[in-house]
Structure 1
Amino acid sequence: MWAGTLYALAAGLMWGLVFVGPLLLPEYPAALQSVARYLAFGLIALPLAWLDRRALRQLRRADWIEALKLAAIGNLLYYLCLASAIQRAGGPLPTMLIGTLPVVIAISANLRNARRDGKLPWKRLAPSLALIALGIAFVNQVELQALRQEADADLRRYAVGALLALGAVACWTWYPLRNADWLRAHPDRSPRTWATAQGVATLPLAFVGYAALWGGMAATGSAFPMPAGPRPEVFLGLMAIIGLFASWLGTLCWNEASQRLPTALAGQLIVFETLAALAYAFILRGQMPQPLTLAGIACLMVGVLRAVRVKPEPLPAAAA
């Protein structure tokens, strides 16, 4: 249980990096950041795939199709929605909407996977979920107050950003449930191999997406300098860092956690990503969080610690 929690913490710290890219590269299209990040992920996965080629050969056609689905929805589509949301609504609002994932995934998994994982009792789970939701509400309240004080705030743009963030929530509610299904159904397979397989599956999708985006910009006469934009050193370096740490290594740590923890509990531990993203955002701002923000972070942490103590109960034989 605690090893799985530590793996989830490591994944959250690295996944928080994905919220930094759109803030550091506001002039780069979100679609370009999405395909470039996963192009880097796929290229990083290639030498790892060679080292792990024996295990990868054991994957069947159905396994590769599943990896392709996970790559398309949990990687490319998710980050496209997230990067677009951050560029339109800024960092905090999408971060807080993504922060609802622990609640959404825990509820979805408790309804969906009770037969496999056991049922987390709602009465014992409710206080943890309530604390997590309260923490998110506290932090969101601070950000909304700051938004109202901006005279030139484009509310329509923020609304579109919020909708895109909700799209990212939908993608990443689906991804961990399906990813955990495969991992729990294949306990003999290495989480490292499965992370590498997803990277290999992502590469052709990202390559086609990059080529299509480049061709589309050329056809429409876009002034954006392809292939690497106006700041190629920063862009390529940042995409490589995010591709390595947030994509491959983060996925590896998450896979390790998913094999050790019930899906409903693992879903709550995605809160670590929210905490990391908030910390990185405040570091970029050069500001200390306000007291209400700190209270919200405390609620999130206490909610997670309470959730770790909740043990799943097997369903009665008749119900199972």
Structure 2
Amino acid sequence: MFLGVLYGILGCSLWGFIYIIPLLLPEYSPATVAMGRFTVYSIGSLVICYYCRKTLALLTTSDWIKAFCLGFFGNAVYYVLLTKGVRLAGVPTSGMLMALIPLNVALLTNRPGAETTVVVPWRRLSLPLAMILIGLWIGNIDEFSEISVATSSVEYWLGFLCSFGAMALWTWFPIRNSQWLLKHPNVSPLAWTTAQGASMLPATLLCYVAVNFEAFLHGGAVLGQTPVKFVLLMVAAGLICGWAGMALWNMMSARLPVALSGQMIVFETIFSVIYSLIYKQQAPKWTLVVGVFLLLGGVLLSLKVFRDSGRKVSQPN
């Protein structure tokens, strides 16, 4: 279980960089950045398919469809909705909705018959979940105080819907992704990561052309105003933050109970905040420090709860 948590933290440390990339490419739309990133991720996966060909040959048509749905909707569409929500409704609203993901995943999976490996009593899980939610709230308390300023505008509510859609997708993704991996131990997480990437190549490529259709139609700069910078950042985002980050997440998902793996997404928030502070050369506020410690404490306590429950299940009567 410790190794699974380590993989999750490392994967989230790579995903945290994704929040910096839009700041480095302000002249590019969220859709262009998202589809550029996942097109590179898909092309890289297509190359890696050769090395995973024996395992990939075991996948059925249904498995490939599941890989596409998880890869495209759980990654590319999610990222577009999240970045659009941040731009229209602001970071506070998006952050508040994303903070609900660990609770949503636990509510949907910590029950008998939910295709999970370990089910723990809610009285033992309520404290760590409360610590995670309170930590996310305290860490963003200054931003949350600004939510009421623009709630009357149509733009705000459109952004709210985008952020809500992103939250829904990333409640669905870790659950279905973990369940598939736990039910298919013969397929390695690396092969499953590659299948997700390769299966969505046609869709991400078509979406990239669609969002930049005018440039393609009129022979403009299809890679934007700073093509070299854009390509280099997309390669980093697609291969390092994309494929490598997802591979680590899948390696975690194959080892942890579903209800616990969903809580690991809080580390993406932690790393994104750390990287943003470094990028902006700002010191963290005390509320952020307290919030991060509560987050870490909540996840560590959850880990102990699931580990103890797993030991009880494995002990003979």
Normalising by structure 2, we get a TM-score of: 0.89
Deviations 1:194-249 (A, max 9, x none): 00000101211111112222325667x8xx95411112222211111111122111
Question: 2: distance between equivalents of 1:262 and 1:269?
Answer: 11
Q: Measured at CA, do residues 267 and 153 of structure 1 come closer, stay the same or move farther in structure 2, by a change above 3 Å?
A: closer
Contact 1:195 1:252 in 2 (8 A): yes
Q: Measured at CA, do residues 78 and 272 of structure 1 come closer, stay the same or move farther in structure 2, by a change above 3 Å?
A: same
1:235 aligned to 2:265?
Answer: no
Q: Which runs of 5+ in 1 are unaligned?
A: none
1:307 aligned partner: 302
1:253 aligned partner: 248
Deviations 1:69-92 (A, max 9, x none): 112210221011012123334556
By how many angstroms is 1:127 displaced? 0.4
Normalising by structure 1, we get a TM-score of: 0.88
Shifted more, 82-91 versus 72-81: the winner is 82-91
* Cα RMSD (Å): 2.7
The one of 290, 294, 300 equivalent to 1:295 is 290
1:30 aligned partner: 30
The one of 177, 187, 190 equivalent to 2:188 is 190
1:211 aligned to 2:206?
Answer: no
Question: 1: distance between equivalents of 2:132 and 2:245?
Answer: 22
Question: 2: distance between equivalents of 1:272 and 1:174?
Answer: 18
By how many angstroms is 1:181 displaced? 1.7
Equivalenced residues, count: 311
1:171 aligned to 2:143?
Answer: no
AA at the equivalent of 2:223 = A
Q: Measured at CA, do residues 155 and 284 of structure 1 come closer, stay the same or move farther in structure 2, by a change above 3 Å?
A: farther
Shifted more, 156-165 versus 271-280: the winner is 156-165
2:269 aligned partner: 274
Q: Measured at CA, do residues 171 and 115 of structure 1 come closer, stay the same or move farther in structure 2, by a change above 3 Å?
A: closer
2:135 aligned partner: 135
Residue 310 of structure 1 aligns to a residue in which SS?
Answer: helix
Contact 2:14 2:245 in 1 (8 A): yes
Question: 2: distance between equivalents of 1:217 and 1:41?
Answer: 23
Contact 2:36 2:234 in 1 (8 A): yes
Residue 26 of structure 2 aligns to a residue in which SS?
Answer: coil
Contact 1:119 1:315 in 2 (8 A): no
Contact 1:110 1:264 in 2 (8 A): yes
By how many angstroms is 1:22 displaced? 2.2
Contact 1:121 1:313 in 2 (8 A): no
1:244 aligned to 2:218?
Answer: no
Contact 2:109 2:116 in 1 (8 A): no
Shifted more, 105-114 versus 56-65: the winner is 105-114
Question: 2: distance between equivalents of 1:144 and 1:192?
Answer: 38
Percent identity of equivalent pairs: 35
Shifted more, 304-313 versus 59-68: the winner is 304-313
Q: Which runs of 5+ in 2 are unaligned?
A: none
Shifted more, 210-219 versus 280-289: the winner is 210-219
Q: Measured at CA, do residues 236 and 89 of structure 1 come closer, stay the same or move farther in structure 2, by a change above 3 Å?
A: farther
Deviations 1:30-67 (A, max 9, x none): 11112111101011112211122222122111111111
Contact 2:112 2:119 in 1 (8 A): no
Question: 2: distance between equivalents of 1:147 and 1:174?
Answer: 26
